[in-house]
Amino acid sequence: MSTEKPSEEQWDIAQARELYGVNRWGLRYFDINEQGVVTVAPLKEEGISIPILEVAKEAREQGLHFPMLIRFHDLLRNRVARINRAFSEAIAEAEYRNQYRGVYPVKVNQLREVVEEILDAGHDYHHGLEVGSKPELHAALALHEDPDSLIVCNGYKDEDYVRVALIGRKLGKKVILVVEKVEEIRQIIAMVNKMKVEPLIGFRVRLMSGGKGKWAESGGENAKFGLSTIDIMRASRLLQEANMAHCLKLVHFHIGSQVPDILTIKKAVREGAMFYAKLSKLAHPGLEYLDVGGGLGVDYDGSRTTFHSSINYSLNEYARDVIYNIMDVCDAEEVAHPVVISESGRALVAHHSLLVVETFGNIKKAQVEEEAVAPTIEHKLIDDAWYAYQNISENNPLEAYHDAQHYKSEAQTRFELGMLDLEVKAEVERIFWLVGVEVLKFFRGAEFVPDEIVELESKYSDQYLCNFSVFQSLLDHWGFGQLFPIMPLHRLDEEPQRRGTLADITCDSDGVVSRFINLYEDGVATLPLHELNGKPYYLGIFLTGAYQDIMGDLHNLFGRVNEAHVYLDEDEENGYYIEETIPGTTMEKVLALVQYSEEDLGRKLKRQFDRAIREDRLRPNEAMRLLNEYNRNLKGYTYLRLE
Ligand SMILES: *Cc1c(COP(=O)(O)O)cnc(C)c1O
């Protein structure tokens, strides 16, 4: 066995895994193979591993350009199975005397293919749907076919909403209307009498145990949704007066998404279960379901902590805690165990999709030389700076840095006064960056790094230009500072020699990714990346399946990205096939969304061409060719075409 410490040259895949934390956030779905290429195993150890770039290249050959979103449908199915299995195991283990019924909150990713896949994969578990608006309800009602699975209707409701939900009841579906405010009870009672149908009603209770974290505002006394204890008493009385006390079937709460701390969940579940038990004994023995809402988080940064982009618990721990605490409260209150519903969305869909983006340039802020060349110009400032450079040692790295800083700012001052030539200024700055590089070496791997050195390090970082829009594809990074795992999809058999931030192609200074996962709460400012070598360089932005790939914003009119949907298939040569490609939004379509019609634009431009022909500025032949080109282009992709 060698006792030698690995030198910088001995880079291996294990180091790449560690550097990007792929085994920490990837839940064993993602890994790096010996060729240094990122792979996905949609079924974990029960199926094959696919090099992600291979899929991207195949989709490219089918005509899809980058940026490209890839969905792994088997991974989505695997998540559905795992959540259901986690609950059935927890139920068996605790000898809980009822069952679990999951519902998928459609708002987390409304894409029809995603919802259909979840329903299909959840068929054996009777996994149902949760909706929060009329359009979602209309979609759910049509897609949902299993009479044993539920449709839970949350969100504020008008008459139409209630009516459509009751149409579902007429079809024999278990559609549950969850009351968000007391007035909705009257609405439901009126509509039920008109439509002559028995409703299934739920109360959304407002818990005192709120969540922590960035999405926590949905809980607590000031929450936007739900009934206070006083409201609950009023709502219960209204139901009793209408002889509908038995229609109350469900108690629901939702303390927010991405709850980082399992203790918050335990506490909320106990409080919710207490509402269930007390209501059941008060006047509603027909109560049957306790719905614990969403909140089951995703460990985006892989730190397994209560950081905002992490969670300190596993899926199995979550399921066990939900089941145990409901059981504990119900046993103490001597009420029967309810059917447990959870509305997990994020944890179900986050992992199944990723965005592949292509870099197309690298803006280097500080030019670093391979070998330090001695200055050839004579000047006191240059001599002093060079002296500082030559005398850096482990005893004084900070001192050397401060000296170099001083000479640089001195050069700047004299330059502004017209007392210094460009050559001298450039030379002093060149030496400053040389000093910086040396100084940084002394702090590499150090336990404590002073702030000024952290700042210095970020000065050496590059800006990698990436063909995508943060506003379309990574909205929560922009809006909440949520961190997502990002890494190169190839070349991981080489040590990344640079560090950089990512700049998107919107004309917005916020269109950047400048926080990356790490084992610090707010991440780090730069991502280790490879030197561009003239060949395409692809990055993967992972865990974007929840909220991101559906919430996009049309900033600068960059539209939805191209999508490839991948299925595993043992009969295929590579073990998978691309089942469907969905072209991203065309320019024509995004323009139409803001009231520009294709015909109108073409007509307006044609008038200008006609004028140019009349005025002899263009020949008719050329004018028509250019106009056709414009019209053809309108049907193209909104992102850069880099080939
Ligand atoms: C958003 C939402 C969910 C989904 O929450 P996740 O944390 O993504 O699982 C569930 N229920 C309700 C009522 C919601 O508003």
Residue ranges of the domains in the chain?
A: 98-351, 380-457, 589-635
Token pair 């030019």 is at which residue?
Answer: 367
Q: Is the CB of 187 under 6 A from ligand 1?
A: no
Distance, CA of 526 to CA of 520 (rounded, Å): 13
Reported confidence tier of residue 551, pLDDT bands at 50, 70, 90: confident
Contact 90, 316 (CB under 8 A): yes
Contact predicate 495/535, CB 8 Å = no
239 pLDDT tier (thresholds 50, 70, 90): very high
- What distance in angstroms lies between residue 265's CA and the mean position of ligand 1's atoms? 14
Q: Is the CB of 540 under 6 A from ligand 1?
A: no
Determine the pLDDT at residue 367. 67
Q: 265 and 311 in contact (C-beta within 8 Å)?
A: no
Q: Among 33, 65, 218, 9, which Cα is nearest to 637's?
A: 65
CA angle 397/398/401 to nearest 5° reads 90
Give residue 4's pLDDT: 44
pLDDT of residue 2: 40
Ligand 1: centre distance to CA 256 (Å) = 7
The CA distance from 158 to 138, in Å, is 14
Catalytic residue among 153, 247, 330, 507: 507
The proportion of the chain whose per-residue pLDDT surpasses 90, expressed as a percent, equals: 87
**Is 343 close to ligand 1, i.e. is its CB under 6 Å away?**
yes
Residue partners of 454: CB distance under 8 A and separation at least 6: 525
- 265 Cβ below 6 A of ligand 1: no
Mean pLDDT (the chain) is 94
**For the CA of 346, the nearest atom of ligand 1:** 8
Rounded CA gap, 281 and 288, in Å? 12
Name residue, tokens 């009516």. 163
Residue 170 has pLDDT above 90, yes or no: yes
pLDDT at 462 over 60: yes
3-state secondary structure of 263: helix
Q: How far apart are CA 274 and CA 228, in angstroms?
A: 14
Q: What is the pLDDT of residue 71?
A: 98
Q: Which residues pair with 512 in a beta bridge?
A: 503
Structure tokens at 399: 């001192």
Say how many Å lie between the CA of residue 346 and the centre of ligand 1. 8
Res 447: pLDDT: 81
> ω into residue 42 within 30 of 0, thus cis?
no
Please state the rounded mean pLDDT for residues 246-271. Answer: 96
From residue 435, how far is each of 366, 429, 496, 528 by CA, in Å?
12, 10, 22, 21
Please tell me if the CB atom of residue 342 comes closer than 6 angstroms to any atom of ligand 1.
no
pLDDT of residue 235: 97
Q: Residue 31's closest CA among 46, 50, 47?
A: 50
- 295 within ligand 1 shell (Cβ under 6 A): yes
Using CA atoms, how far apart are residues 391 and 507, in angstroms rounded to an integer? 44
Helix ranges (DSSP H) in 420-469: 422-443, 451-459
One-letter amino acid of 221: E
- CATH number at 380-457: 1.20.58.930
Least confident of 31-35, 59-63, 639-643: 639-643
**pLDDT over threshold 70, residue 6:** no
Distance CA 490, CA 284 (A): 59
CB contact at 8 A, 475 and 552: yes
Q: Dihedral through CA 187, CA 188, CA 189, CA 193, nearest 10?
A: 110
Cβ pair 340, 87 in contact under 8 A: yes
Residue 483 has pLDDT above 60, yes or no: yes
Cβ count near 588 (within 10 Å): 17
Rounded distance from Cα 293 to ligand 1 centre (Å): 6
Nearest-CA residue for atom 10 of ligand 1:
294
- Asked if residue 102 has its Cβ within 6 Å of ligand 1, the reply is no
In 74-228, DSSP assigns E strands to: 100-105, 128-131, 150-153, 174-179, 200-204
Q: Are 298 and 546 in contact (CB under 8 A)?
A: yes
Distance from C-alpha of 51 to C-alpha of 444, rounded to nearest angstrom? 32
C-alpha to C-alpha distances, 427 to 93, 372, 399, 404, nearest whole angstrom: 72, 12, 20, 12
Please check the confidence at residue 211 and state whether its pLDDT lies above 70.
Answer: no
Q: Quote the tokens at residue 576.
A: 């998978």
Encoding tokens for residue 63?
């005509």
Distance CA 612, CA 628 (A): 16
Predicted confidence at residue 57, as pLDDT, reads 96
Please determine, for residue 466, whether its predicted confidence score (pLDDT) is greater than 70.
Answer: yes
Structure tokens at 61: 């050959």
Pick among 3.40.50.2000, 1.10.630.10, 3.20.20.10, 3.40.50.300: CATH of 98-351: 3.20.20.10
Q: What are the tokens at 485? A: 């795992």
Q: Is pLDDT of 222 > 70?
A: no
Q: Where are the beta strands (DSSP E) in 205-283?
A: 248-252
Percent of the chain with pLDDT over 70: 96
Q: Which of 325, 339, 217, 345 is CA-nearest to residue 263?
A: 325
Both tokens assigned to 48? 């094959």
Q: In ligand 1, which atom is closest to the CA atom of 297?
A: 7
Which one-letter amino acid corresponds to residue 266?
A: K
247 is catalytic: no
CA angle 543–114–339, rounded 5-degree value: 95
pTM for this structure? 0.90
Give the CA dihedral 350, 89, 40, 42, nearest 10 degrees: -90
Torsion over CA of 280, 276, 128 and 114, rounded to 10 degrees?
160
pLDDT at 457: 82
